[in-house]
Chain A
Amino acid sequence: MSAVEQLTPPPAVAEPGPRRWRRVTGRMGLGGLLGIGGLLALVVVSAAGRFLTDPPQPDIEAIAQGPSGEHPLGTDFTGRDNLHLVVRGGWDMLELAFVAGFLMSAIALTAGLLGAYVGGAVDRIVVSFIDLWLTVPRFVLLLVIASLFPVSSTVALAALIAVFEWPYLARQIRAQALSLRRREYVEAARLLQLRGGHIMLRYLIPAIGPFVVISTIQAMNTAIYQQVGLAFFGLVPLEDNWGVLFSVAYSQNALYLPAAAWSLLVPVAAICLLQFCLVLASRSLEELFDPRLRGAR
C-alpha cells in the first residue's frame, strides 16, 4: 500500500536534552523504570554489602529463627542474619550474571554475524550447529560436566554456562543481522565494495548495538536460571551467593520448618526480584530502541 509506505517514521531529530530525556523515560513506561531502577538499586546494595560489610557471623544462640527485631528476616541454620546474608550474596550473583551474559553475547554475536555476513557454506554450518546444539538437552549435560569437573570461580562457572547457552541468542542475532543486511544502505555499501570488516564496523554493529544490549540482558537472565539449577544440586562451589544460600538452606530441610524457611525464601525472593528487574529492563529497552524488533521475532 503506497500511502502507508510513506508513513515510515521521520528521521530522529536531536531534541533538547531534558525534553528528550523525558520522552525516553515516557516511552520506557513504568515497567522499564522499575526494572532499570531496581537493577541499579540491586547493584548498589550488593556492592555495599560486599565491600562495606564483613561476612555475618554464626550465632549458636539464634539458629533458624523467624523474623525478630534483631534479625528482621530471621536467621539461617547457623544463626547468621538472613538480611545480612542476602545483601552480601548479591554481588557474586550479579558478577556471574554479567560475565556469563557478556561471554554468551560475545560467542552468539561472533557466530551470528559470521553466519549472516559470510553466508553460503559458513552460514549453513553455523545454522546447523546452532540447531543441533539447541536441540541437545543442554542442562542435563551441563549438570554432568559441572559435577565431573567442578569449577571453583565465578568466571569459570560463567564461562561454562555461556558455552552451553549461547545458541539461542546466536540464532536471534543472525536473524537480525540478516534483515539488516538486506537493508538498502548495507547493500549499497557492499556494491561500493567497501571491505567486509568496514561494513560490519560502520553499519552492522551500530545498527545491531541496541539489540546486543538487550540480548546480553536476556543472557544474564538465562545465566541466573542455569546457575540456580546447578546450585540446587550443590554443583556451585562458591561462597554464599543467593543460589548457594537457597540450595544449602534447602538441603537443610528448611522448607518444612516455618521458622527456618526464611533462610530459604529470602534468597529465593532475591533471585526472583533480580530476574523480574532483568525482564522488565530488557522488555522496555526493546520497545525503546525499536518497536519493530518485537514484530521481527
Chain B
Amino acid sequence: MQLTPLFTLIGRALVRTVLMLWLVASVTFLAIRALPGNPVDVWVQELQGTGLSAEDAREQATRLLKIDVDQPLWTQYLDYLGNLARGDLGDSVILSPGTPVTDMLGERLLWTLFSISFALVIGFLIGLYLGSLAAYRRGTWVDRLITNVSALMSSIPAVLLGIVLTFCVGVAWDLVPIQSLRGAYSPDVQPGFDLDFILSALAHVIAPGIVYILVSFGTWALVMRSNALSVLADDHVGQARARGLSERTIRVAFVQRNARLPLITGFAISMGFVVSGSVLVERIFVYPGVGQLLADALARRDYTVMQGVVVATTITVLLATAIADALYGWLDPRTRIEQHA
C-alpha cells in the first residue's frame, strides 16, 4: 500500500472541504450581515419598532445570532467563523426563537437524506442502464428514443413534475388520497422501529422519490451513453472481442465498469443538486425535510435558520463528495497515478 499518495488525497479533500465551507459561509455572512440594508440591521430596527430600546434590541440580536452586533464587522466575521468551527450555527430567531439551529436541522436532514438517497440510487441505476443500452444500439430507434426522452426529462423542473404528478394521481385520476402523499409518515402511526412505521415512511417516500428519479435519470443516461460510446471505441474492447470474450463479459467487465467510473464523482455532486431540488419537491409533498425548513425560514425570514440550511447542505455535499472520492480511488486502480499526472 502506498501511503504518501493516500495522504495527498486526504489532504486535498480536507483543503477543498475547508475552502468550500469558508466560501459558502462567507457568502452567507456577506448577504445576511455585511451588505448595506442587510436583514440583521433591518431586524434590529424592527425590534426597536416593537418598543424595545436600541440596547435591548441589540442585546437580543447578539444573544440569538451569537455574534456581538456592536463589534466591528470583521470581528463579527471572525466570531461567526469561530462559532461555525465549533459547530454552533446560532439559534433560531423567528421560527422557534432560542432553539439551536443545529437541533432543528438534525431530524430534517435525516428525512431529506432518507427520501432522496433511495431515489438517487434508483435514478442513477436506471440512467446507467438506459445510457449503455443506447450506446450499444447506437443509431437505432432505441438510441434515439432513449436520448430524446432523457434530454427532455432532464429539462423539466422538478417542481413542475411534482405538480403534474400530484395532479394526475391525486386529483384528476383520484388514484390515491392526497393526504397519503403528504408528510414523512401517516399521522396515525407512532414513530419507532416497528414495521408499521417503516412501511408508512417508505410509502411516503414513493411520491417525492418518483419525482427525483424522473428528473435525475436522464442526465445519467446521456452521460453514460457518451462514456460508453467512447469506451466501445477503445482498443481493449476490440482486443477482448478478438480474444473471443462473450459480448456479455465485454459489456459488463469492459464497457460498463469503465464507463461508469467517471460518473461516480458526478453522482456525489448531484447529491447537492438534489438536496437543492428537494427544497421544491418537499414543499409540494409537505415532506418534513431540510427543504421544508428552508421554505419556512424563507417565508418567515429566519436568517439563522437560512444560514444553517445553507451550511448543512454544503456539508452534506462535501461528505458525499468525500465518499465518492474514496469510492473512486477504491474502484479505479489508476487513480493514484492520475492524481499525480
Chain A residues within CB distance 8 Å of chain B: 31, 132, 134-141, 143-145, 147-149, 221, 224-225, 228-229, 232-233, 235, 246, 250, 255-256, 258, 261, 264-265, 268, 271-272, 275-276, 278-280, 283, 294-295, 297
Contacts and interface: CB of A to CB of B under 8 A. Distances in A.
18 contacts: A132-B16, A136-B314, A138-B276, A140-B309, A141-B310, A143-B298, A148-B38, A148-B303, A149-B31, A225-B157, A228-B157, A229-B159, A229-B279, A233-B283, A255-B171, A275-B155, A276-B152, A280-B148
Looking at chain B's contact residues, the main secondary structure is helix
B164 A268 contact: yes
Interface in B153-197: 155-157, 159-160, 163-164, 166-167, 170-172, 178
Interface string B266-287: 0001001101110110010000
B163 A228 contact: no
Interface size class of B (residues with CB under 8 A): 35 or more
Nearest to B223: A297
Contacts of B125: none
Interface in B1-59: 16, 19-20, 23-24, 27-28, 31-32, 35, 37-39
B26 to A, nearest CB: 11
Contacts of A294: 226
Given A137-B313, A137-B314, A148 B32 contact: yes
B174 to A, nearest CB: 10
B81 interface: no
B279 A258 contact: no
Interface of B: 16, 19-20, 23-24, 27-28, 31-32, 35, 37-39, 147-148, 151-152, 155-157, 159-160, 163-164, 166-167, 170-172, 178, 226, 229-230, 269, 272-273, 275-277, 279-280, 283, 294-295, 298-299, 301, 303, 306-307, 309-310, 313-314, 316-318, 321
A141 B160 contact: no
Given A137-B313, A147-B301, A297 B38 contact: no
Contact of A278 (B23, B31, B155): B155
A17 B77 CA distance: 65
A278 B151 CA distance: 10
Nearest to B226: A297
Nearest to B19: A132
A131 to B, nearest CB: 8
Contact of B163 (A134, A140, A268): A268
